[in-house]
């Protein structure tokens, strides 16, 4: 396990440009979705990651059932796979099977074998974005009355694939 404090990590690149998979596993099923919005940092004196999930996403349904989740990063060869995970709903097909990504569920965490970096998190907080609280009216342009739910996870494990 890698200490989160030793990560050489640019969240603007990793999340905003390269994207990540937000993964959840419940007793009977697992799913992941692509995220390009998120945060990694410190909150409440804990290392955390934050993801934003629309309630209409199938992953949202599963994330409500469990307190453990993962944020997994891949090298550039997986951009097409990440695009697929963002386009297709887990309601319509089993994305994990169709994608052929190797994975395992370990201690309730969805771990992808090909991920170069995985942050395993324990849910600390969740809330819904309230558009009444937008200070910049242009933020509303990001929504069609489908506001994200915010999930904050304490990073409890870091899995870094050695190259």
**Distance (Å, rounded) from C-alpha 150 to C-alpha 152?**
7
**DSSP assigned state of 27:** S
pLDDT tens digits, 12-49: 999 999 999 999 997 789 999 999 999 999 999 999 99
Q: Say yes or no to pLDDT of 162 above 80.
A: no
% of the chain with per-residue pLDDT over 70: 98
Overall pTM > 0.85? yes
Residue 101's domain is classified under what CATH number? Answer: 2.30.110.10
Contacts of 155 (CB under 8 A, 6+ apart): 4, 40, 46, 47, 48, 49, 119, 120, 121
Question: In which domain, by residue range, is 120 found?
Answer: 4-160
Contacts of 11 (CB under 8 A, 6+ apart): 38, 39, 40, 41
pLDDT tens digits, 116-136: 999 999 999 999 999 999 999
Q: What is the pLDDT of residue 7?
A: 85
Count how many domains the chain has: 1
- Exposed/middle/buried for residue 77 (C-beta within 10 Å: 0-12, 13-18, 19+): exposed
């Amino acid at each position: 396990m890698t200490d989160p404090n030793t990560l050489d990590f640019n969240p603007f690149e990793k999340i905003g440009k390269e994207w990540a998979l937000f993964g959840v596993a419940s007793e009977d099923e697992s799913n992941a979705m692509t995220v390009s919005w998120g945060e990694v940092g410190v909150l409440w004196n804990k290392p955390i990651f934050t993801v934003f999930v629309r309630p209409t996403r199938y992953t949202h349904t599963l994330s409500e059932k469990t307190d453990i989740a993962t944020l997994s990063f891949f090298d550039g060869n997986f951009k097409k796979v990440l695009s697929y995970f963002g386009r297709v709903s887990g309601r319509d097909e089993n994305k994990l099977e169709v994608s052929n990504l190797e994975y395992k569920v370990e201690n309730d965490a969805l771990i992808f074998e090909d991920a170069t970096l995985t942050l395993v998190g324990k849910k600390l907080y969740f809330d819904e974005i309230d558009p009444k609280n937008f200070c910049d009216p242009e933020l509303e342009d990001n929504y069609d009355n489908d506001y994200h739910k915010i999930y904050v996870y304490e990073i409890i494990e870091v899995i870094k694939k050695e190259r």
